[in-house]
């Protein structure tokens, strides 16, 4: 059930959703970074949530600014810790 809910959420996710979330968390993405993060989430969300997120993040590292990368990683672990019981 939860997997279906997550998949449905990802399928309906828009770039604007990511942009607003990033801005609300003091992450200022340029268009290229926004596109990269959007595409990464759409294609690799299962690996990010359930598998080898290190591999995905290593690929992302060179595609966004180091400041944004650090903020994204910190935010990921903050939310993963907070919501682990639901994953």
Categorize the per-residue pLDDT at 84 as very low, low, confident or very high, splitting at 50, 70 and 90.
confident
State how far the Cα of 52 lies from the Cα of 44, in Å rounded to an integer: 10
- pLDDT, tens only, 21-61: 999 999 999 999 999 999 999 999 999 999 889 999 999 99
Q: What are the sequence ranges of the domains in the chain?
A: 2-86
State how far the Cα of 24 lies from the Cα of 75, in Å rounded to an integer: 12
Which one, of 52, 41, 51, lies nearest residue 11 by Cα? 41
Q: How far is CA 26 from the centre of its chain?
A: 15
In whole numbers, what is the pLDDT of the chain averaged over residues?
Answer: 94
């Amino acid at each position: 059930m939860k997997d279906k809910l997550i998949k449905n959420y990802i399928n309906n996710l828009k770039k604007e959703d990511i942009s607003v979330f990033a801005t609300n968390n003091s992450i200022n993405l340029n268009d290229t970074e926004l596109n990269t993060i959007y595409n990464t989430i759409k294609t690799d969300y299962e690996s990010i949530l359930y598998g080898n997120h290190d591999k995905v993040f290593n690929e992302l590292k060179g595609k966004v600014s180091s400041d944004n990368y650090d903020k994204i990683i910190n935010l990921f672990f903050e939310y993963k810790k907070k919501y682990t019981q639901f994953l």
